[in-house]
Chains A and B, each alone.
Chain A
Amino acid sequence: AQRVTQPEKLLSVFKGAPVELKCNYSYSGSPELFWYVQYSRQRLQLLLRHISRESIKGFTADLNKGETSFHLKKPFAQEEDSAMYYCALRTGGGADGLTFGKGTHLIIQP
């Protein structure tokens, strides 16, 4: 069965510093990888997906199949980036449900 691991429950960085949220997965096939974000008192929402290869709010994530990782990065953190971040995986060409990691609480200190 597939699995998503986010090793950090909590990550605290200063404003302007680089941010890297780690995500590792286990799945023998070719999964789709996603990052979801939940800001305080807001709904869970899609941040980005690996097939889009886009940058959203300055965040990027590259799928590394060799290391089975999909780390989320941002060069300069902003206070509004403080939120819960969830890495998720989907198999079956979109036919299956999402498998989520436990999430990382990112705190950006002023």
Chain B
Amino acid sequence: KAGVTQTPRYLIKTRGQQVTLSCSPISGHRSVSWYQQTPGQGLQFLFEYFSETQRNKGNFPGRFSGRQFSNSRSEMNVSTLELGDSALYLCASSRDRGEKLFFGSGTQLSVL
């Protein structure tokens, strides 16, 4: 089985731009979660999608949003980028809510 696939691997943007990151979960997995990883704050939960609905959201501003499609693939969007949004964004999928998470390799976002 292919693992969780995140694209792109690297992204460079400038302040004020917006960005969309993509995540393809493991086949058969219906839950997708997103995490932000920074040296200062560590790993922080962004949100979780299940059956195309956001089920849970972490403590991030409204500039961070996401969605899930009928094939369980997910995208997250960050609008009006700030320097502090520079981070590794990790996607994780699980067969069902609360089950074992499988992480992707992440998308490294740099905001200049």
Whole-angstrom CA separation of A104 from B97 in the bound complex? 27
**Contacting residues, chain B, for A90 (C-beta < 8 A):** 98
B82-112 contact mask (Cβ, 8 Å, vs A): 1 or 0: 0000000010000001111111110000000
- The stretch that binds A, out of B8-16, B17-25, B42-50, B66-74, is B42-50
> Are B98 and A93 within 8 A (Cβ)?
yes
Assess the B97–A44 pair: CB atoms within 8 A: no
Could you tell me the dominant secondary structure of chain B's interface residues?
Answer: strand
Q: A-B pairs with CB below 8 Å: how many? A: 46
Chain B residues near A86 (CB, 8 Å)?
A: 43
Q: Which range contains the number of A residues in contact with the other chain?
A: 10 to 19
Q: Assess whether B3 is interfacial by the CB under 8 Å rule.
A: yes
Shortest distance in angstroms between A71's beta carbon and chain B's nearest beta carbon? 19
A83 to chain B, nearest CB (A): 14
Count chain B CB atoms within 10 A of each CB in A94, A97, A100, A101 and give the residue with the most. Answer: A97
Picked from B42, B101, B103, the residue with its CB within 8 Å of the CB of A103 is B42
A76 to B3, CA, bound (A): 31
In the complex the two chains form, is A95's CB within 8 Å of B55's CB? Answer: yes
B90 touches which one: A44, A88, A102 (CB < 8 A)?
A: A44
Q: Evaluate contact between A97 and B33: CB separation under 8 angstroms.
A: yes
Whether A96 contacts B43 by the Cβ 8 Å rule is no
Not counting A43-B3, A97-B35, a sample of 15 additional A-B residue pairs whose C-beta atoms are within 8 angstroms of each other reads A43-B4, A43-B104, A43-B105, A44-B90, A46-B101, A94-B97, A94-B98, A95-B55, A95-B98, A97-B33, A97-B45, A97-B46, A100-B35, A100-B42, A103-B42
Chain B residues in the interface with A (C-beta under 8 A): 3-4, 33, 35, 42-48, 55-56, 58, 90, 97-105
